[in-house]
Every structure is written in C-alpha cells, then in structure tokens.
Amino acid sequence: TAPGRPLWGAHSINPSSHSMRFFRTGVSDPSEGLPPFTVVGYLDDQPFLYYDWRTRKDQPKCSWIRKVEKDDPDYWERNTQISWNTEQVFKVRLVNVPKYYNQSGGLHTWQEMYGCELRADGSTVALDEYAYDGKTYLSFDKETLTWTAADAAAQVTKRKLEAEPAIAQRNKAYLEGFCVETLQRLVGYAEGALQRKEPPVVKVTHEQGRDGTETLTCRAFGFYPKEIDIVWTKDGEVWLQDTFSGVVAPNSDGTYHAWASVRLDPQDRDRYRCRVGHDSLLGPLGFAWEEPDGFSWLVSPSINLTSLPPSIPPSVSPPPQSLAIEGLGRVCPGLHLIALLSLSILL
C-alpha cells in the first residue's frame, strides 16, 4: 500500500474500466469528529464498506454489497477481525514513524491506499501507497518489486521491507490476482448501480466585471457517472481563451457537480455557448445565458429552443477526509490477504 495525500479523491475512470480501492486512516490523537481509525472501500467512485470504530465492526455502505452475504455468510465477521487487527497495527505505526522524524507528541496521521484498476483493454493497474501526515511516505511497484521512499525517514521503512522480499512477492500476487478477481466479482454485484445514469441540470449565470467585461459561468449539477465534458464555444468552435474551470466534485447524494467560466466582451455575448456532453445525454447540448426571467435556455442544433425551470442544486459535501480499507472472503478470494500481510510489515 502506498503513501497518500491529505485527501485521496476519486480518480476519473473511463466508463468501460473499473477500480476497487481501499483507504485506511489512523490518527494518533483522536478527538470529537476525528476517529482514531477509519476504513472505507470504494468500487469506482461508490463507497461500499466502512469500519465503524465505535462498534469495531465492518458495515455495508450500500445496498448491493449485501448480496455477498448469500455466497459468503462469514463475510462481515471475518473482515471485522481484519479491520480490528489493522487498527492495532496502525497504533504501532503512529508510535514508530514519528520517531524517524525525531518527533514526539502532537497530532499525526498514517494513511494507506491500495487496490487495482481493470481497464477496457484488459490491462490492470495496481495501487499501493502509504502516507504520513498527509504527505507521500512510501509506494510499492509490483512490476519491479521495489519500494520508493519519499524521504530519509521513509528509507528506514524501505530497508526493513527490502530485508523481507517475501512481502513484495505476496503484495504482487495479491494485486495481480486476488484483487482483480475480487474487482470483477464486485462489478457483477453492483452492475445496476454502476450503470445508472443521471443527466446534469445546467444553469448559466452572469457577472459584470469592473473593467467592462463580464463572466459567464456554466454550472452542471446532479449528474452521474462522474465523467462530463463542459466547454465554452464561440461561433460554434471550442473557445479556450479566458476560460476557467473547476474539478468535478461530489454531492452528498452520490452525484456530481462541475463548472466552467469564460470572460468576454458583453457585445459578443450572443456568440458564446456552454456545451455539455455526458453519457446520460443523446449528444452534446448547448446552453446560453439570457436576461433574468426565471428561466435557463437550452440550445442545441437538433433541438428547438426550450426553456428549463431553475433548479436548486443538491446539497454539496466534500470528499471524505479519511478513507480506508476492507476485505472480502471466499466470494472475493484473498481480498483479506493484503490486510493480513500488512501485519507482517516491519516499521
């Protein structure tokens, strides 16, 4: 598992590819709202499992994961034990690693992220990283069976891992075999949820600048899957000059929102359109700003001018700040193996 960053967000995945990732986070000085240990499992961008630190039990995060119980009745009990064991390991890591930095006391975090991605062409990508205090610490390359340390302190851990080559071999076997097999099984369980499509609600807003220019902002709300294309066009051609955009971000209901802006001369306003492309749409649609009248106007070469009622975007919540792992059993052979292997890593 490899180092991480303060926040590990969902990667943009091609619709025909799938990923399974597990995130673990340990905190040295927990407090209200900051649990000592968290575990979250993601299939693509959908959380399906989490570790409830209050009850010390793994819990389902979505309905479709319940299907695993029919094939593997001991699933939750077994993985609860793995998560509990891992929590104890994290406590040790949060004692040892600060010493490598000559630190004592204070709030520190240890994070792990691991999993795999199966791409449309059949190729696979392994994810195996560690992070300390929100910064990359160590990562594993299954192709070369090597560990990459981010700094001198991480070199201490690297040397200990290199002294136990069997750990790298077992990690490689998990990432190339069990992980991919488990991913394929989970995709089967979640097929309906992963194939759902929610169209974006699009609204164009206007802001007058002090320098005489104005800015049009195109906002898309409530869409799924995550991939979306929002660009500004001028006279029908993609326009990049004086344009700005934000990252696709999650909403609290499992959908996403995104935006793109363009700064322009008010006299040229009618020449600009926001073009939105998404899997839920038959084709790209064009949106223009109109004088305030309570409506947003939809423009498309194949559709007559149609008015859309204003929409209130769904409530927005930031990505989880602490993410982490899980494990599966006979149904998903060996998914629990990586957690057990982590117990043998010398830090």
Q: Residue 46 pairs with which residues in a beta bridge?
A: 43
Q: Whole-model pTM above 0.75?
A: no
Instruction: List, for residues 58-99, the tens digit of each pLDDT value.
Output: 999 999 999 988 888 998 998 899 899 999 999 999 999 999
The pLDDT value given to residue 309: 30
As a whole number of angstroms, the distance between CA 85 and CA 90 comes to 9
The pLDDT value given to residue 75: 85
As a whole number of angstroms, the distance between CA 137 and CA 113 comes to 12
pLDDT beneath 70, residues of the chain: 1-16, 292-347
The pLDDT value given to residue 303: 31
